[in-house]
Amino acid sequence: MTNRCGLIVLLALLSAPGTVWGQQDIQATLQKLVGTWVQDFSKTRPAPSPVPRSRTHQWELAGKDKMRHVSETINANGEKVTTETQTDDYSGKEYPDGDPGQVSTFRVIDANTIQQIRSRNGQIVRFLERVISPDGKTLTIRQIAVDAQGKGSQAIQVYYKK
């Protein structure tokens, strides 16, 4: 996907019709995300190569509008890697996120959907949408990313609650 196509898709997602839930309703949505989620690589597109033995994401509440997130992967060779440990601010306000010049903003779209926009030096580098199924058992993550050369990519990851 070219940068232009990625940005067009991103703009379409951001301007999609519908009522955005108020941030006051975020606690109920965050509570649905709490727990351990196991990735289903058979439904992940594109699938990583080589396919890891397992990958889990664990979210826990870490104060008002905040969640701690840990991602662990068991690589194909059996090596365990903690790939991400961070506390995110879901208040709807922009906050520093990782690398210098990088910021994130989370927003609640509805009772089961959270979007994240990550930017660096004023340029969007990633749009991520987490959708929790109505029964609370499946988490689908759609991501559009733009690399330093302006090339876009998209991925879909599917997880099941442990």
Alpha-helix runs per DSSP H in the chain: 3-14, 26-33
Q: Is the pLDDT of residue 10 over 60?
A: no
9 φ, ψ to 5°? -60, -45
**pLDDT, tens digit, 9 for 90 and up, residues 53-68:** 999 999 999 988 899 9
Q: What's the average model confidence in pLDDT over 34-49?
A: 95
**pLDDT, tens digit, 9 for 90 and up, residues 89-119:** 988 899 888 778 889 999 888 899 999 999 9
What is the architecture, at CATH level 2, of domain 3-161?
Beta Barrel (2.40)
139 φ, ψ to 5°? -120, 125
Burial class from Cβ neighbours inside 10 Å (0-12, 13-18, 19+) for residue 50 reads: exposed
Q: Is the pLDDT of residue 5 over 60?
A: no
Side-chain-facing half-sphere of 89: CA atoms under 13 Å? 12
Confidence class for position 4, pLDDT limits 50, 70, 90? very low
Is the entire prediction scored with pTM above 0.85? no
Q: Is the pLDDT of residue 13 over 90?
A: no
Q: What's the average model confidence in pLDDT over 19-47?
A: 84
**pLDDT, tens digit, 9 for 90 and up, residues 122-134:** 888 999 999 999 9
Provide the pLDDT for residue 23. Answer: 56
Q: Which of 126, 93, 86 is nearest to 108 (CA)?
A: 93
